[in-house]
Amino acid sequence: MARNLDVFKKRALEIAGDITAWRRELHKTPETGIHTPSTQAFICAELDKMGIPYRKDVGGGGCTGIVALIEGKNPGSGKVFTIRADCDGLPIAEETGLPFASANGCMHACGHDAHSAIALGAAKIIKENAGKLEGRVKILFQPGEEGNPVGPGGAKRMLDDGALENPRSDVIVGLHVGKLGEGVGPGEFCFRRDALMACMDRFEIVVKGVGSHGSTPQNSIDPIMIAAQIISTLQTIVSREFSPLVPVVISFGSIHAGSAFNIIPSECKMSGTIRALKNDIRKTLAKRIGEVAESVAEGMRGSVEYDFNWDGPAPVVNNPEVAEEFRKVAEELFPGDVVELENPLMGGEDMAFFLEAVPGMFCFFNTCDPAKHKFYHHNSKFDFDDTILWKGSAVMSAMAFQWLSDHK
């Protein structure tokens, strides 16, 4: 290591109370989608107090993304280290009973309030030491990670609006709180050197048939029966077209048809998701789902309309060199608290858009103590230990300084 990184750990611990307080303030007023104006106002106010300039409303079309920039000892020069934090919530009514619980019908049930608080803590530490910084640090506060009802989510929008440009980011890092890795203890960081999470794509199938009275099925082309056969047959793609050693998921989340118990409807609408760890498998799945659905429907005298939505993120794939640099920094700061995961998760994250654009890494930070928290995710009772968030700020700020020093 080029320096003693304990100074970042010490300072992060000193401002631990601020980091926890930021998280709790954000938790009170969660907002969903790409338009999070109150969240943006809070973050910008804290950046103003730190004297950190920023560009807001990054992403356009109502997207309230923020790109903050901290100049180093030689302003306008040097490489650019980037920290990404998402900041949107979910349309879930909170049931935690916490004194700072949300009362607006939405909830930070995925920890994005903590991600923003950790990023603010890192920003404060980096700004205080900017005179020693060998380069520049960008911090992205991104809404819309949980998706957007119309069009792309926040990461894609911010990327298209130049979030990684002017100056161009050279590397990007991010983390996720909660308990997302198996066998990981409280306060531990877990990472992988390659694929960490899967793609997160959505598809829709509309089965077209001919309706009739339930008592005369011979007069129908039953779309419900066709849909059932499609659902069953599509699982053979997973079991017969890919090796059992290759992680592949096809899941249906909704199926809607009909309006009465005794009427066979004329159409059936279904939607689902695929998960894969490689883009070539993702493309194969998108193609084969349509082919199988069409052939099954045709064989049963019906037809289908098939749409695969490519707005979802690709697999989250870490750069091995950046992952190793993260491991070294985190291990030096918190010996014994860094775990390399054997297996990836099949959940998705739009951090993938940024990782496709520049090298980087994404990791998990276990903030759940099983003695205090039963783990819930995307759940009305989601909670964790926010008094240890300072550890995330320590690692992010220390890694920024270390990476820029090593790559100047």
Could you say which DSSP state residue 312 is in?
S
Query: What residues does CATH 3.40.630.10 cover in the chain?
Result: 6-198+314-406
The number of CA neighbours under 13 Å toward the Cβ of 9 is 11
368 is written with which tokens? 């759940």
Query: What residues does CATH 3.30.70.360 cover in the chain?
Result: 201-309
Contact 274, 326 (CB under 8 A): no
Q: What is the CATH number of domain 6-198+314-406?
A: 3.40.630.10
Contact 226, 300 (CB under 8 A): yes
For residues 347 and 145, give the distance between their C-alpha atoms in angstroms, rounded to a whole number.
13
3-class SS letters over 88-151: CCECCCCCCCCCCCCCCCCECCCCHHHHHHHHHHHHHHHHHCHHHCCCEEEEEEECCCCCCCCC
Q: What is the pLDDT of residue 148?
A: 74
Residue-wise pLDDT for 220-260, tens only, equals 999 999 999 999 999 999 999 999 999 999 999 999 999 99
Region 308-318: mean pLDDT is 94
Positions marked active-site: 88, 145
Give residue 166's Cα distance to chain centre: 24
Please, which pLDDT band fits residue 3 given cuts at 50, 70 and 90?
A: low
CA dihedral (162, 165, 171, 177) positive or negative: negative
Residue linked to tokens 């890092």: 173
**Percentage of the chain exceeding pLDDT 90:** 92
Residue-wise pLDDT for 302-312, tens only, equals 999 999 999 89
CA dihedral (98, 103, 105, 111) positive or negative: negative
382 is written with which tokens? 């989601």
Q: What is the pLDDT of residue 25?
A: 98
Q: What is the pLDDT of residue 271?
A: 98
The pLDDT mean for the chain works out to 95
Please, which pLDDT band fits residue 374 given cuts at 50, 70 and 90?
A: low
Residue-wise pLDDT for 56-110, tens only, equals 999 999 999 999 999 999 999 999 999 999 999 999 999 999 999 999 999 999 9
89 is written with which tokens? 């919530």
Q: Is a pLDDT exceeding 60 seen at residue 2? A: no
Q: What is the pLDDT of residue 341?
A: 94
Contact 399, 5 (CB under 8 A): no
Please, which pLDDT band fits residue 1 given cuts at 50, 70 and 90?
A: very low
As a dihedral over the C-alpha atoms of residue 156, residue 27, residue 397, residue 165, rounded to 10 degrees, the angle is 20
Residue linked to tokens 């997207």: 63
- Helices (H) and strands (E) counted in the chain, each on its own, are 10, 16
118 is written with which tokens? 């950790």
Please, which pLDDT band fits residue 381 given cuts at 50, 70 and 90?
A: very high
Sheet hosting strand 201-208, strand order edge to edge:
248-257, 267-276, 201-208, 303-309
Nearest Cα neighbor of 9 from 319, 372, 329, 292 is: 329
Domain 201-309 falls in which CATH fold? Answer: Alpha-Beta Plaits (3.30.70)
